[in-house]
């Protein structure tokens, strides 16, 4: 069983740039959730995708957007990067929309200069 994989592992960008982070869900999982984890904090929910549609969104501005593909992999896009966007971005996958547990990837460490 293949776990959740994220790419890249690290990324450095400058203010105002745009970034795309990628996530492959665990085999058999069709729901992907994205979280932002700032240093010293717990993960914060950004949004969730189920069967290629956004299925819930946290308190993040519209410059945070995403996609889910037919194979259930997903992308997180962030436009007009700000210094405060520096964080670890975690992807988690699960089966269905019910009460199945979420399985996390290793994350992408994004640094904004």
Partner 1 sequence: AQRVTQPEKLLSVFKGAPVELKCNYSYSGSPELFWYVQYSRQRLQLLLRHISRESIKGFTADLNKGETSFHLKKPFAQEEDSAMYYCALRGQGGKLIFGQGTELSVKP
Can you give the binding site for partner 1, defined by CB under 8 A? 31, 33, 35, 40-45, 48, 55-56, 58, 90, 92, 94, 97-99, 101-107
* Shortest spacing between CB 17 and partner 1, in angstroms: 27
What count of Cα atoms within 13 Å lies in the side-chain half-sphere of residue 85?
27
* Shortest spacing between CB 99 and partner 1, in angstroms: 6
* Shortest spacing between CB 2 and partner 1, in angstroms: 14
Which tokens belong to 75? 């992308």
- Is 13 or 22 the residue whose CB approaches partner 1 more closely? 22
- Is 16 or 56 the residue whose CB approaches partner 1 more closely? 56
Which tokens belong to 13? 């960008």
Between CA 11 and CA 56 the distance in angstroms is 26
- Is 3 or 67 the residue whose CB approaches partner 1 more closely? 3
Task: Write the DSSP string, 55-87.
Answer: EEE-S--TTEEEEE-TTS-EEEEE-S--GGG-E
């Amino acid at each position: 069983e293949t776990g959740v994989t994220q790419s890249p592992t690290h990324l450095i960008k400058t203010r105002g740039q745009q970034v795309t982070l990628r996530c492959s869900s665990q085999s058999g999982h069709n729901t992907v959730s994205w979280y932002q984890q700032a240093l010293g904090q717990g993960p914060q929910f950004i949004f969730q995708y189920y069967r290629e549609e956004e299925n819930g969104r946290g308190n993040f501005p519209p410059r945070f957007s995403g996609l889910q593909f037919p194979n259930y992999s997903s992308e997180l896009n962030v436009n007009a990067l700000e210094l405060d966007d520096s964080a670890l971005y975690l992807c988690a996958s699960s089966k269905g929309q019910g009460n199945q547990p979420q399985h996390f990837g290793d994350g992408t460490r994004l640094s904004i200069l």
